[in-house]
Chains A and B, each alone.
Chain A
Amino acid sequence: MKRRRLLQAIAASPAAAPALLAQGPGSRLGQAGTAPARIATVPAGEAATPAPRFFSPIQLETLRKLAATLMPPLNGNPGAIEAGVPEFLDFLAGSSPAARQKLYRAGLDHLEAEAKRLHAKSFPSLEDGQIDAILKPMLAPWTYDPPADPRKHFLAAARADIRAATLNSREWAAAASSAPSRRRRGGGGTVGLYWLPIDPTRPA
């Protein structure tokens, strides 16, 4: 019998399973001073890179160019690219309700279509001035309601998300801690009290 099947058979036996799971009758685990040493770990984000899976390759490249334009490195702080924002937004949009997914995909597709229509080039390969000519007419100040035009809405949402994801990135925090004066100029580096799940229930 293979090991996994053996374990399944033991676990299915009401008498045997508790003995196996209890680390043996002589276990002193739980008594004072017997806890094993805490195992150190690193955040996954420090050990690996994200694998984007939501946007198409051209949408992701368009988002990279857009992020670099909207939030470049300033005042010695990292920009959106250095902060891994396009990859983070791929994760965020991919985890989001359909409305945000549609907003992002349609918005990025529109930028690419405009680049082709006006300059016969892909958006990521445009010059800065060409990008400005596409983006600036789409900008609109707003307070509570984002602009009704879906393209302006997309740019408003992307601009806010890219900025927040940059300011709240690990890279930004590292730069700010190495030069506190930068933190004052650019904001960001938020630290706060996080509420853990409070006595959560398990699904029925």
Chain B
Amino acid sequence: MTLEAREVAWDRGGRLVVDGVSLRPNPGETIGLLGPNGSGKSSLIRLLSGIARPTAGVVTLDDRALSAVPRREAARAIATVTQHADTAVELCVRDIVALGRIPHRGAFGGDHRADAEAVAEALERTGLVAKAGESWHRLSGGERQRAHIARALAQRPRELLLDEPTNHLDIRHQLDLLRLVADLPVTTVVALHDLNLAAMFCDSVLILKGGKAIAAGTPAEVLTPALIAEVYEVDAVVNMDESSGCPQIAFTPRARAAQSR
């Protein structure tokens, strides 16, 4: 049910950026997409969001091919926060969050009360109530990310797709933002760079390398020294944190120079 990728591949001008990946999130869970730069995390997010179509395989929404679902209907079910979404327009936070109501509008306007409620709730959840009237151009990096997530929440989606939402944030904002995302009652697929953050906040993880899915499962099952060495080509020590039950990854320097020659 809901959003699902079945053996999707994306041939982007002769380069296979996604190669036969399947993803089947359980409703309400948070799935982390992990992998080195260029492993296909962002591309997979684009396929799942319907912004791009797979060249093989199929993305389905409620067992219908996503490409056959009308865009507006898809946008009421799936919300996406992409990287580097910036604007030159002088919008305030409330305007940006209200953009999330566009897919809910009919030809003759929308349900104003539902719109106002969804916007207020999204501002509340993301802690942006006090910033509602603030211009986009005066927001910090963390506030901008939260504004985009609030806009996505105002869409009232069932599925939330986030492409490296913690980029350029300081550690406190990274933790706050992922706590917010993990606590949301929607199914979330989030591309992440930081393995420890993934271990802390994701119910399960999917490891990508060269566009292929290498491993999938809970962070404790998947994030082993052997797998980290294979995927990221670094040495790591993984300890179980007794109190949280999360694996903690510490990286160790390796004599790379000798190996690479």
Q: Do A and B bind each other?
A: no
Q: Residues of A at under 8 Å CB distance from B? A: none
Q: Residues of B at under 8 Å CB distance from A? A: none
